[in-house]
Structure 1
Amino acid sequence: MKNPPIHLTFIKGANIKMRLLYSNILPLRLEEGQQSFIEYFNEAAASCDCLDIAVGYVSKASLVELQKIVEDCGISHVCLNIGMYYLEGMPEGTYHAAVLLNESWKRAGVGEVRIVKAFKYHGKLYTFYKNGCPVAGIVGSNNLGAIKLEATNLRQYEISTVTEIPEEIEEISKIISKLKEPTCSTNIQEIKVPLVREINSALVDQEFVTKITSDEVAAYRRNVTDLSFEIPLKVPVNHEDPMMRGSNINVCYASGRKRVWWEIEMVVSKEIRDLPGYPEHQVPFMAVTDDGWKFKAWTCGQNNKNLYSKDDLKIMGRWVKGRLVASGLVDPVNQVEADSAFKGLITEEILEKYGRKSITLTKTEMKTVDEDGTEMEVWMLSFLPNTDAEEVTS
């Protein structure tokens, strides 16, 4: 039997009540007369013109879904206040999605995303308004991720209470309003939120690539030398800039031979490769990355201009672009030839948001041995944002 529709209390004297909102998970399926959180939220959003939310945690998918709901329902004002990340650290993909949402809402003049800074706020409060009056409120265990179920929370059972009693809604509304005050929270782009770097899953289970521990990375770092080269990533300024659109790390967009999105060409300038100590032409070395990956690399091409991963050209691309994907700033493109809008193009704007525009190649004092017994030098490749020394890392 289909659950009955909600009845928001817009009319004075209408039937008012408080009731529970459930998850719908076996073996606790919804029973007759019960309603799920996600169903109530969507129907309430469609019936209101203003929305205030204060939760502990969010997900990238739920932020995208919230933006869609706000746009589809024509909500004129919205504020999302997030409570746990300032002191715990925020997953980088979720952070960049929240910043993008904040930019979109502020540009449209409809609202903002805020971060609680005074303490760890773990509550979950939602208030829906119509014509300036709060008409429904939710309090319970549902974080924002409940509006867009995915693998991580699909089997997570939550219970919340929804009220349409004016006095109770007003109380919820007052708490959310206090959380929005400057003494409690700040706009997400006006505060430095510590980030938790997410694993570059583009390199997981790839042939010729080994994952190493943070202790191993630290050991290599302790043995770096003063011989280091800073290699700029040459990219367009933005998506409208035609310069560098089909070269270097965006070579997949070049005309001619079709390349997959992950394939890149690290072209190093003559000024850098002519410096003393730069890796010799076609002499393999072991590259250890600052985020814990290990693979063979070498310099090759005409005049030694290219820096490549040796066994598979896509490995270097999966490391560089994989970091940007993990940060939530770009999505992989399966069919580059169909990407006429250049959504997968890496630009200076993306690199600026990421926090790094170059790759550092640094020689270590350590050596390793290839499968055939050949001794190889070990070099470190660095592409984590420059602020990571102050951030939380996973």
Structure 2
Amino acid sequence: MRLLYSNMLPLKLGDGQTAFIDYFMDAVREADEIDIAVGYVSKAALKELQGLVDTAVIKRICLTMGMYYHEGMPEGTYNVAAALNEDWTGRRIGEVRLVRAFKYHGKAYVFYKDGKPFSAVVGSHNLGAIKLEASNLRQYELSVVTEEPEELQEISAHVRDIMLPKCSANIADLRDVPLIREVNRALVDQEFVSKVTPEEVDAYKKRMTEVSFELPLKVPEDENDESMRGSNINVCYASGRKRVWWEIEMVVSKSIRDLPGYPLHQQPFMAVTDDGWKFQAWTCGQNNKNLYSKDDLKIMGRWIKGRLVAAGLVEPVNRVESDQDGKGVITHKMLNKYGRDTITLTKTDIVTKAEDGTELEVWMLSFLPESRHQQEAADEIS
């Protein structure tokens, strides 16, 4: 048995000492099977692990996470973990599991070669330690590694027990994992946008009227569907003038625009979102077909696409013209994973004033998955 350290000032590695992250990387490269049981992970660590598994010769891997079923799981981390599980199960090399029998706070890593464990690590290092970022950069951890046969068998048996149905389940089989919605940081410090507190959002919701419109997001079915690839919220992929990834077009069908109470052409209103942002919007374009953020077309895009980024379903694309594989294209498959494929626009009975004194109606914009469910429940009750 020997120690594995974090490596940070003032406790830099000394002579003969090994960092956990270095040992982990070497063990992955040597192994052909891996079992991991930890309390917590991170999005960055999951992506790092996927890259390591893809480049190494791994025949089987199981990652079991111990705390989230009871404490709640950040939505971005959940979606990245679910995608990782989909990839591994599809390739028949492994799975991602969640402990549900109890809160599991252990941290154990077992590495195998030719069916036998050759190394095991236990200690305080969660999986996030394999990809340091701001949240854990100054978090010191300590673990031990053993290569003793009896200890290896004991640790391996323990981790295999955690993997059994009596303790855990595949993440895809659990429909009741509580998700913690993450902040849409794409709108932070953006001009013409204000933050709204949860209490203020609730106050606006209580003043909503029955004038409401469900606006479908028009997107291709999946990454192989060429239809609508360069239109609507994927307009940045259209040929012609270059647009940044955040710029979108919300094109509303005539059947919705013609309904009573739909916002008047080019008459600005204040939009308050269900996740706590506020900006001016309006309807415009030929036949009033577009719903835009008024002062900057990217604001609406940062709200919609920013929610998908926060959910861990897509990454912003810096140069759209270089995205030949269309990794930044929003698809119906992606929206299904998010849990929402429409935007709800609902009028309130509140009138506010712009900075220049112009009176503005206040409308609610909803895109959180639970917003749709709450509306459906209310409709059923009524």
TM-score by length of 2: 0.96
Tell me the CA shift for residue 345 of structure 1.
0.6
Distance 2:122 2:286 in 1: 65
**8 A Cα contact 1:245 1:254, kept in partner:** yes
Instruction: Specify the alignment match of 2:59 in structure 1.
Output: 76
2:329 is paired with a residue whose SS is coil
Tell me the CA shift for residue 135 of structure 1.
1.6
2:16 is paired with a residue whose SS is coil
Task: Verify: 1:368 aligned to 2:352, yes or no.
Answer: yes
Distance 2:372 2:83 in 1: 21
- Equivalent AA in structure 2 for residue 127 of structure 1: V
Instruction: Specify the alignment match of 1:4 in structure 2.
Output: none
- Equivalent AA in structure 1 for residue 99 of structure 2: V
Distance 1:31 1:388 in 2: 56
Instruction: Specify the alignment match of 2:380 in structure 1.
Output: none
Cα deviation digits, residues 196-217 of structure 1 (max 9, x gap): 1111111000000001111111
Instruction: Specify the alignment match of 1:146 in structure 2.
Output: 129
Instruction: Specify the alignment match of 1:119 in structure 2.
Output: 102
Aligned counterpart in structure 1 of residue 243 of structure 2, from 235, 242, 259: 259
Task: Verify: 1:352 aligned to 2:320, yes or no.
Answer: no
2:96 is paired with a residue whose SS is strand
Tell me the CA shift for residue 128 of structure 1.
1.0
Task: Verify: 1:268 aligned to 2:252, yes or no.
Answer: yes
Tell me the CA shift for residue 386 of structure 1.
3.7
Tell me the CA shift for residue 131 of structure 1.
1.6
**8 A Cα contact 2:230 2:238, kept in partner:** yes
Equivalent pairs counted in the alignment come to 373
Distance 1:73 1:336 in 2: 31
2:364 is paired with a residue whose SS is strand
TM-score by length of 1: 0.93
Aligned counterpart in structure 2 of residue 303 of structure 1, from 287, 291, 311: 287
Instruction: Specify the alignment match of 2:73 in structure 1.
Output: 90
Instruction: Specify the alignment match of 2:192 in structure 1.
Output: 208
Instruction: Specify the alignment match of 1:58 in structure 2.
Output: 41
- Equivalent AA in structure 1 for residue 96 of structure 2: V
Distance 2:54 2:264 in 1: 55
Instruction: Specify the alignment match of 2:151 in structure 1.
Output: 168
Any stretches of 5+ residues in structure 1 without a counterpart? Answer: 1-17
Distance 1:132 1:171, change over 3 A: same
Distance 2:136 2:250 in 1: 39
**8 A Cα contact 2:293 2:300, kept in partner:** yes
Tell me the CA shift for residue 147 of structure 1.
1.0
- Equivalent AA in structure 1 for residue 58 of structure 2: I
Aligned counterpart in structure 2 of residue 198 of structure 1, from 175, 182, 186: 182
**8 A Cα contact 1:355 1:387, kept in partner:** no
Tell me the CA shift for residue 71 of structure 1.
2.2
Instruction: Specify the alignment match of 2:296 in structure 1.
Output: 312
RMSD: 1.2
Distance 1:389 1:119, change over 3 A: farther
Q: What are the equivalent positions in structure 2 for 1:229-308 lying under 5 Å apart?
A: 229-308=213-292
Cα deviation digits, residues 264-297 of structure 1 (max 9, x gap): 1111100001000001111111000000000000
Instruction: Specify the alignment match of 1:108 in structure 2.
Output: 91
Cα deviation digits, residues 339-378 of structure 1 (max 9, x gap): 1211111111111111111100001111111112221110
Task: Verify: 1:334 aligned to 2:279, yes or no.
Answer: no
- Equivalent AA in structure 2 for residue 75 of structure 1: I
Tell me the CA shift for residue 229 of structure 1.
0.1
Stretch deviating more after TM superposition (203-212 or 99-108): 99-108
Distance 1:343 1:65 in 2: 18
Tell me the CA shift for residue 387 of structure 1.
7.3
- Equivalent AA in structure 2 for residue 319 of structure 1: W
Tell me the CA shift for residue 114 of structure 1.
0.2
- Equivalent AA in structure 2 for residue 209 of structure 1: V
Distance 1:44 1:201 in 2: 36
Distance 1:46 1:239 in 2: 32
1:215 is paired with a residue whose SS is helix
